[in-house]
Amino acid sequence: MGPWRAVPRSSSKYLGSAERGSLPARWATGGEAPPVSRAREDEREENDLVDIVPGAEAPSSGAYSGAEDGVSSGADAARALRDLPVPKLSNDDSYFLEKLGVTFRWGLRADSDLDELNSLFASVGFPRRDEGRLRRALVHSHDIVWVVVANKKNKSSGVFVGQCVGFARCTSDGAFNATIWDVVVCPKWQGCGLGRGMVERLTQRLIEKDIQNVSLYAEPAVVGLYQKCGFEEDPGGTSGMAFRRARRRRGSASDGAGESNAPR
């Protein structure tokens, strides 16, 4: 492992400093830790914000980058801590109701038809999903928006009041980060601004809740749509990655390498 970093010191809610001082320090692997020299204690008193570990570099006074963590990018961490203004909507709800005869509904819907939602997915090339797992995904979503036909403004055949013609949802840790998923609009209704309307509303609600780092995955054909909603590609040079499969190493037992062909 590389050199240890200087890490923020946080007080324990279980033991006060006096109580902690009365207990023998221990290695993580067991046994008592060697005593800390007085010089080291003096160093700690001079900088009460960090615990200095042998080999650690002094903390810099610059902005946190996060690159040394190796878990998430510093750019992501910084985006989650910024203070963005709440984005405005390009068209309010009344525009969609009066112009298109549709309304936005939020959250879990008791009257939602999962088969209808699966058909909506299939209409744009998304895979149909097991209804049990789909229901679980909806329950665990942070927010869900549906575009539902509210009246007969649209006289097209096959359109009926209560029909779901658009859908999107997001997941979130409820504090820093959120990701928008499954943005889908019925092909007959595409080009009317419904996709942008859903993304704008989801983003607005998230930032109103002080969730500042909002991300999504975009297919090349719809990158332009999300850019209009304020999203940018690879912000700060960050690359989105998704687990696909474990890579096999050459010569591993799984690919048969190294096995003897001798009869047994």
Phi, psi for residue 99 in degrees, rounded to 5: -85, -40
Helix (H, G, I), strand (E, B) or coil at 213: strand
> Which residues have a catalytic role annotated?
226
Element (H, E) at 179: strand 177-185
The angle at the Cα of 237, spanning 180 to 168, to the nearest 5 degrees, equals: 10
Beta bridge partners of residue 171, listed in sequence order? 179
- Report how far residue 7's alpha carbon sits from residue 15's, in angstroms, rounded to the nearest whole number: 19
E strands present in 44-138: 50-51, 102-106
- Report how far residue 244's alpha carbon sits from residue 242's, in angstroms, rounded to the nearest whole number: 6
Chain centroid offset of residue 166 CA: 22
Please state, in angstroms and as integers, the Cα–Cα distance from residue 63 to each residue in 59, 74, 132, following that order.
10, 10, 45
- Sign of the CA dihedral running 210, 212, 218, 222: positive
Q: Are 184 and 167 in contact (CB under 8 A)?
A: yes
